[in-house]
Structure formats: structure tokens, C-alpha cells
A and B are shown apart, each in its own frame.
Chain A
Amino acid sequence: MSAGMSYDPEYSDVDNDGYASGAVSVSTTQIEAKVGASRMVGREAITITNKGPNTLYYGPTGVTSTTGDVLYKDQYVSLPIGASLGVFLICATGQSATAIVQELS
């Protein structure tokens, strides 16, 4: 029997390799939403929950409170973004927030 790709349809619709969670302090300088020092290898999705106390904004690198999408306190977003792209967080001038970031692979 030759070696090749394996495919198990039972797990074809779930992330089954990695799951990590951590808190990220967000201020007026953009910071990447990731759990460890680096993005999770093989990442397939990321969730971000804003624990407040202020509104935060998310987007690609270079995000600002003007260009980013809003995430109010207690709101969360799930993004199907792989490890090749970063998601960055920022708060408006004078504000800060804590984000709970979870990465799935």
C-alpha cells in the first residue's frame, strides 16, 4: 500500500490540530492578535473578544481607530484568517482595552 494523503471525512469540518487562548493588552499602538510570540502554525481561524473597558478596532497591519473595524466591549469576532496574515488591534486616543484572543488550527 503506497503512502499518500489521508482524508477522514468525520473531521473534515472541524479544526482538530491546535487551540490556544490568551489575553492581549491593547492601547493606542497597534498590537497583533496572537496568543504566543508567533502566530499559531497552521492557523485556520482566530477569535477576538473585547473585554473592555473601551472599544477597540481590528484590521490588517497599519490599522488605526479610523480604518479598523469596530469591536465594542463584550463583542467578539471570528475570522477565518491563516498564519500568513496578521490581525492587529488598536484603541482610540487615550483609551485601552483587553482582548481575549484564541487561535485555532
Chain B
Amino acid sequence: MKTGPTFKSDVAKSVPFDNSTDGFVSDNVQAAIEEVRTMPGSGVTPGFIFSRSGACVVGAYMYIGQVVSNKTGMDMAGSNKIVKITVSNSTTVGSNTTVQIQQRTGLSTFADIVGASVIVLAGGFRVSTVLAVPISIGPDWEISCYNKSGSTLTDPVVTVYLVPV
């Protein structure tokens, strides 16, 4: 017998992935790795955080560290997609309150990123929203965050989750 039996090489896509207990949709290694890449928090950082101590009235911007974000935005390297935005607050809000993410179009000039907003519902103090349609941003945009409408936020912390494109 000169020749051996049938042999087929493996590629990532042909290696089964057991998704029975981990919540993955993928059933092969190739798809599973791609699925991990698109999960919130698996991007360039766990998330960019905006915050403000005390009252953050309608129209007021939150800070990045010690710098108000409408003076200097948070720079993001490369092209990314916003996949999730969370807001937490130290008190409940009196009415539906919209938190909006912006991008810098010029020095100290910021414009709303369409769709990049979340609403803290009246009586609530936090929200976690996975965007139905991830929003493409970049490359190298600077982003800011402010209380767009509704009620005053108190000690808000906003986290923006990105995945690289």
C-alpha cells in the first residue's frame, strides 16, 4: 500500500467549539475568536470614563480626569465602534435624562455623535445600553460627554465601551 488513508488538515474554522455552557453563539474556533473581538469591553480599553463630582446640570460637560471634556476630548487611537454606554448616578433622576457623547470637530468645538446617547429613565440612577447598531468613530477622534437634556445628574460616571474596527 503506497498511500495512506484520507487526511484533512485543520483550520480554525474546522475545529469545533463547545458553546453549550458559556453563552457563546459560535460553534467553531474561528467564529468564537471573532465573537470575543466584538464583545463590549474587549476593545482598546475596558472603556473610556467620563465623570463629574457633584451636580451636572443640563448642558454641563463631564470630566476626563481633571479636565472638562469639552475643552479637551478623550483621544481614541485608530478606528473604533461604540458598542455600549453605561451611566451611573448617585441619586435618582427626576425625569428622563439624556447623556450624549460628542466628537471634537475643531479646537474646543464638539458635535453630537448621532446615536451615541443613552437615557437614564425618571426614577432611575443608572443605565447600561448595548447599542443595537454599533457606531463607527474615528480614526483618532476626541470624544466628550455631557448632560444633554432632562434633569440634573449628580456625581455621574459614564463609561463608553469600544471595539477596534
Chain A interface residues (CB < 8 Å from chain B): 12-15, 44-45, 69-80, 104
Shortest Cβ distance from residue B140 to the other chain A in the assembled complex, whole angstroms: 31
19 residue pairs A–B, Cβ–Cβ below 8 Å: A13-B1, A15-B2, A45-B3, A70-B14, A71-B8, A72-B11, A72-B14, A74-B11, A75-B8, A75-B9, A75-B11, A75-B13, A76-B8, A77-B7, A78-B6, A78-B7, A79-B6, A80-B3, A104-B3
Shortest Cβ distance from residue A91 to the other chain B in the assembled complex, whole angstroms: 15
Give every chain A residue within 8 A of B5 (Cβ-Cβ): 80
Q: State the 10 A-B residue pairs at the shortest beta-carbon distance, nearest first.
A: A80-B3, A77-B8, A45-B3, A72-B13, A75-B11, A78-B7, A44-B3, A76-B9, A72-B11, A79-B6
Chain B interface residues (CB < 8 Å from chain A): 1-11, 13-14
A14 and B11 contact, CB distance less than 8 A:
no
A-B pairs with beta carbons under 8 A, tally? 41
A13 and B2 contact, CB distance less than 8 A:
yes
Q: How far is the CA of A75 from the CA of B29 in the complex (A)?
A: 14
Give every chain B residue within 8 A of A73 (Cβ-Cβ): 11, 13
Q: How far is the CA of A14 from the CA of B4 in the complex (A)?
A: 10
Q: How far is the CA of A104 from the CA of B3 in the complex (A)?
A: 9
Give every chain B residue within 8 A of A13 (Cβ-Cβ): 1-2
Q: How far is the CA of A70 from the CA of B8 in the complex (A)?
A: 10
Give every chain B residue within 8 A of A72 (Cβ-Cβ): 11, 13-14
Q: How far is the CA of A69 from the CA of B9 in the complex (A)?
A: 13
Shortest Cβ distance from residue B31 to the other chain A in the assembled complex, whole angstroms: 11
A80 and B11 contact, CB distance less than 8 A:
no
